[in-house]
Structure 1
Amino acid sequence: MGRAIQSDFGLTDRGFRKKTAWCWEIEVPQPGPTGEIHRQVIFDGTYFSGWCVLIAHKGQHVLGWQWCDQEKKAAWEALLKQLPAPDVVVTDGGTGLRAALDQQWRHTRIQRCYFHIYAAVRRHTTLAPRLPAGQEILGLTRDLMRVRDLDAAVAWMGAYASWEARWESFLKQRTYARAGVDRPSWVKPNQAWWYTHIRLRRVQGLYRQLLRDRSLFTWLEDRFHTEGSATVERTTSRLEGGPNNAIKHLLRGHRGLSESHARSAVDWLLNTMIEHPHDPWMLAHRHREGTAEPARRRFIAEEHIGPATYGTAATAEEGLWGRSGWAGMP
């Protein structure tokens, strides 16, 4: 996990790789189920070399992870099935995770990450919006980052409602297709008109969805406070600044790893971040003695559609890849 290089061990590079080749065959188990119901679980995925690792984190420790090619519903479901449903999930708002949550953890509350909300709004308005409506909603989004209690949350919702009322007719303005009018790339060829301020309408749609789902101020609810201190995060920063950042730092420090070795290295790194890490020496001893339990392949439970010969094994098309190590077993 460190920054040492092969020549630091008194061997040639080829000699070191030959002497340690067996180490890459050791499988890293994920943490087993404990039955503990967590107050919160933070979810996020990080990409490298065409792979994505989805990570579940409780704020202090990694709870589990799942390998896939993209953040698809099937991949998130495979990770959710490893854990009991918590009280709250903190998420960046990816559609794949939301669909999996609706399927697997229907009664779990959702808290959307404030930094991802800000990033989404900024993407639509830019950092220097020209229109007053854009300037105001960007300012409201910055104010959202400073909300710390329920009183401030109520004041913010009032300010947002005022913004919608003030700009209602402005946001409904349309542009009609005619000669001399440029047709935006997202407009369909046979479309007769489109909303003039579509980017601001998308910001409006984002906030309406958050308020309708009650996923904007979940962390401020009374039952998620202990002695006035929030027990639920409002961002995914603990995960992004912890495991995700450590993964990228590890792979930068060991550039040139093969794809399978890079995934194995990430498995070992995440093992160090669980509450009760598996002892590497014990795993190595079991491997050398031939007493390690064979890895069990994960299969995704699906409804059988068509002949039974179709099977339910995880495939690359589903976003889940077979691998020799612990890509995420039950």
Structure 2
Amino acid sequence: MLDGTYFNGWCVLIAFNGQHVIDWQWCDTEKKIAWQALLERIPAPKIAIIDGGTGLRSALKDSWPSTRVQRCYFHIFRNIRRELTYQPRLPAGKELAALTSALMKVRTQEEAASWVREYARWEARWDEFLRHRTYARTGQERPSSVPQTSQWWYTHQRLRRARNIYRRLIKDKCLFTWLETTLQPDSGQKVHRTTSPLEGGPNKAIKDLLRFHRGLPEAHARTAVDWLLDSLTEFPREPWTLVSPEHFNPPRKQAVNEETDTPPTYDNHFSWEDGNGLQNGWGGRRHQ
């Protein structure tokens, strides 16, 4: 399982096998080069369960080309609902929402094949409807995603985006990878269809750690997260191996010379420029 979690302007990318943290990588965002730095340190597995970020997908193709991908069902559900909303008004949207709910209940390859057939029927049934166009007219409000120079746009854009999500998943064959028996691990470990064990495990532990220890300096917070993730690996390092001589004798902070390093306006001497002294004349009060 591969996922990233954010805090205080940082992102930590985590590889997790369902039981232990394998490795992690610090970065600012989940971009391709950051994911590659992590993936290239790990032997390619049979299956990678991901949330669908473009940077990670691109890194997988380059670093783990033989690894099959399983898209997280929770993220699929969330992405589809974002386009359809939880109460779609159009019949096509209601049917696709029902198909999305049915997808969450698929447990066997036979049920998966049946779901794909039902989805194909949905596409065929609503293909002409999804081709409807709206033509620009004076004073007509257009969607924010449509350029001002466009003379027309597809009327049901959000439905089309939801359809394209499923089209891409089926084309890339990453919707039912978790059901393929030839890809089951030799250890008998269960192949998950979501990244929930990672979200509820290491990611939650990081958020809890930082919430319980609010106010940690940035460097201290990162060290704490490193220590936490190391403790969640299969073979955590012995704490004393991380101690070096400079930890016993940390460098002293250089003392500030108040006479040379501090501006005179910050000390206790008298300065007319500060506005000190007697003031005559109008002091901001209204004259009666």
TM-score (norm 2): 0.83
Give the Å deviation of 1:257.
Answer: 0.6
- 2:106 partner amino acid: V
Tell me, yes or no, if structure 1 residue 111 matches structure 2 residue 70. yes
- 2:98 partner amino acid: G
Structural mapping, 1:251-290, within 5 Å: 251-284=210-243
C-alpha contact 2:47 2:183 (8 A) present in aligned 1: no
Structural mapping, 1:47-196, within 5 Å: 47-196=6-155
- 2:145 partner amino acid: W
- 2:223 partner amino acid: S
Give the Å deviation of 1:287.
Answer: 6.3
Q: Any idea what the Cα deviations from partners look like across 1:101-146, whole Å, max 9, x if unmatched?
A: 1111111100000000000001001111111111111111111110
Structural mapping, 1:214-229, within 5 Å: 214-225=173-184
Give the Å deviation of 1:236.
Answer: 0.3
| Runs of at least 5 residues in structure 2 that lack an aligned partner in the other structure | 250-288
Give the Å deviation of 1:288.
Answer: 5.0
Identity of counterpart residues, as a percentage? 58
The CA distance in 2 between the partners of 1:43 and 1:87, in whole Å, is: 13
Give the Å deviation of 1:279.
Answer: 1.4
> In the comparison of the two structures, how many residue pairs are matched?
248
- 2:234 partner amino acid: E
C-alpha contact 1:224 1:231 (8 A) present in aligned 2: no
The CA distance in 1 between the partners of 2:233 and 2:185, in whole Å, is: 25
Give the Å deviation of 1:58.
Answer: 0.9
C-alpha contact 1:220 1:230 (8 A) present in aligned 2: no
Corresponding residue number in structure 1 for 2:200:
241
| Runs of at least 5 residues in structure 1 that lack an aligned partner in the other structure | 1-41, 291-330
Corresponding residue number in structure 2 for 1:24:
none
C-alpha contact 1:219 1:230 (8 A) present in aligned 2: no
C-alpha contact 2:73 2:193 (8 A) present in aligned 1: yes
The CA distance in 2 between the partners of 1:122 and 1:286, in whole Å, is: 55
What SS does the corresponding residue of 1:186 show, helix, strand or coil?
Answer: coil
| Change beyond 3 A, Cα 1:230–1:154 | farther
Give the Å deviation of 1:289.
Answer: 7.7
Tell me, yes or no, if structure 1 residue 46 matches structure 2 residue 5. yes
Tell me, yes or no, if structure 1 residue 198 matches structure 2 residue 157. yes
C-alpha contact 2:46 2:183 (8 A) present in aligned 1: no
The CA distance in 1 between the partners of 2:246 and 2:180, in whole Å, is: 49
Give the Å deviation of 1:83.
Answer: 0.4
Give the Å deviation of 1:281.
Answer: 2.9
Give the Å deviation of 1:225.
Answer: 4.0
- 1:91 partner amino acid: I
Q: Any idea what the Cα deviations from partners look like across 1:56-110, whole Å, max 9, x if unmatched?
A: 0111100100000000001000001110111111000000001111111111100
What SS does the corresponding residue of 1:274 show, helix, strand or coil?
Answer: coil
Give the Å deviation of 1:282.
Answer: 3.3
The CA distance in 2 between the partners of 1:234 and 1:271, in whole Å, is: 25
C-alpha contact 2:103 2:115 (8 A) present in aligned 1: yes
- 1:57 partner amino acid: F
Q: Bigger CA drift: 172-181 or 200-209?
A: 172-181
The CA distance in 2 between the partners of 1:266 and 1:139, in whole Å, is: 41
Give the Å deviation of 1:283.
Answer: 2.2
